[in-house]
């Protein structure tokens, strides 16, 4: 089985895919990891990817798809056997989804399930704007989930310079979420037309989200 986990920043996608993938015998496939591994291993595709990085250019979709296909062959041959792949953060666009479908078709596979893990925008904005960073030692805090022991003081170095990063202001977060929706909607429509999408509510305790995900992926 191959599945895709979709979700905006702050919804807990990374945490959840780390929990559910091993329980289902799925290999997590993130394209960032694939690219880094190929570059480290010095494969032909890795060398090509390195050239794009060196030029500061975006790695083209067909190169990424090539890496995905290599990975799926590896998964098919794994010992102990794996039951498939859980794609995390890929595909992001409809053209990528179409290219992935073509590539999977060529090796007799397909996307069986797409899980849309989401939460109301105000919940995500509250989560994402709660991050603080120590201006002195760069330790990261979260006012909701990992606050400093003494308000306004860094646990590690004692600095009182705890600040919000420019990326985490409400304005920046709202814009990032808007871009996510703009890009993801056509992708969801594409998979909805195939009847493979399941919705999971990310605005509940972690273990409840995990249970809902396991059900959606079963
Ligand atoms: Zn500090």
DSSP assignment of 104-123 equals: HHHTT----EEEEEE--HHH
The catalytic position among 165, 178, 194, 215 is 165
pLDDT at residue 166, rounded to an integer:
86
Least confident of 72-76, 125-129, 171-175: 72-76
Concerning whether 131 is annotated as a catalytic residue, the answer is yes
CB 202 within 8 A of CB 117: yes
> pLDDT tens digits for 79-90?
888 899 999 988
- Tokens standing for residue 208: 């409840």
The catalytic position among 28, 36, 94, 176 is 176
Mean pLDDT of the chain: 93
pLDDT at residue 31, rounded to an integer:
85
Q: Using a cut of 0.75, tell me whether the model's pTM lies above it.
A: yes
What is the CA(162)–ligand 1 centre distance, in A?
8
Concerning whether 215 is annotated as a catalytic residue, the answer is no
pLDDT at residue 107, rounded to an integer:
87
> pLDDT tens digits for 145-158?
899 999 999 999 99
Q: What structural domains and CATH numbers belong to the chain?
A: 2-119+178-217 (3.40.50.300), 130-169 (no CATH)
Q: Do β-strands 113-118 and 197-201 pair in parallel, antiparallel, or remain unpaired?
A: parallel
pLDDT at residue 183, rounded to an integer:
92
């Amino acid at each position: 089985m191959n599945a895709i986990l979709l979700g905006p920043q702050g919804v807990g996608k990374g945490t959840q895919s780390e929990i559910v993938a091993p329980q289902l015998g799925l290999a997590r496939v993130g394209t960032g990891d694939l690219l880094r591994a190929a570059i480290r291993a010095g494969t032909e595709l890795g060398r090509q990817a390195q050239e794009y990085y060196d030029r500061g250019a975006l790695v083209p979709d067909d190169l990424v798809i090539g890496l995905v296909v290599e990975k799926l062959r590896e998964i098919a041959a794994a010992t102990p056997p794996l039951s498939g792949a859980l794609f995390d953060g890929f595909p992001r666009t409809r053209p990528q989804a179409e290219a992935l479908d073509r590539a999977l078709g060529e090796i007799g596979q397909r996307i069986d399930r797409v899980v849309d893990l989401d939460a109301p925008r105000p919940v995500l904005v509250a989560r994402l704007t709660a991050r603080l960073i120590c201006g002195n030692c760069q330790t990261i805090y979260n006012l909701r989930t990992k606050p400093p022991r003494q308000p306004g003081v860094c646990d590690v170095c004692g600095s009182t310079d705890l600040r919000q990063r420019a990326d985490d202001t409400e304005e920046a977060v709202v814009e990032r979420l808007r871009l996510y929706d703009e890009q993801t909607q056509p992708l969801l429509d594409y998979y909805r037309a195939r009847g493979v999408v399941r919705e999971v509510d990310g605005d509940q305790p972690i273990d409840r989200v995990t249970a809902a995900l396991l059900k959606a992926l079963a």
